Amino acid sequence: MKLVFKILVLYVVFLIQTLITQPQVDLVLLILVIFALHDTQADALILGAWAGILLGLTNPMHFGFHIALMTAIAFASNHIRRFIYKYISYFIGIILIAILFKYLIFLIFLGAQQSFLYWLLGTLIVLVIAIPLENLIVKLFYPTPVFER
């Protein structure tokens, strides 16, 4: 049931992201990485595919490209958490690497969809809201058991 709520959260965030035209803020990517860092590998892959489907709706010419890219980012984030996800600085680094990876893949295969300055501004906005949003999502979806407090 939690997976259904996470899918709905991704959908709502996708709707918010499509309303913001300039600069393009990767809110779906941010939420996907947060979920992938805290969920099982199967859930991360499902959420990555769902995020790719949603992003593919905005650009149907590259529909499968979004699915593959978001699933790869979710898998990598979920896999790497066992090794380095211990401090907030690592979380910011993972987000930054995911955004840079997405931008470079789009630049190499599809050409730049936005200028570098707009991308940089969107990335700074995502990095500023990353920590408060991660704290909110952790409190909502991953509460600590009573015996661990």
Measured in whole angstroms, how far is the alpha carbon of residue 11 from the centre of its chain?
A: 12
Q: Is the pTM of this model over 0.75?
A: yes
Joined together, the tokens standing for residue 70 give: 């978001």
pLDDT digits (tens, 9 = 90+) for 33-79: 999 998 899 999 999 999 999 999 988 888 888 999 999 999 999 98
pLDDT digits (tens, 9 = 90+) for 23-36: 888 999 999 999 99
Mean pLDDT of 119-141: 91
* 3-state SS record for 87-141: CHHHHHHHHHHHHHHHHHHHHHHCCCCCCHHHHHHHHHHHHHHHHHHHHHHHHHH
* 2-148 fold: Arp2/3 complex 21 kDa subunit ARPC3 (1.10.1760)
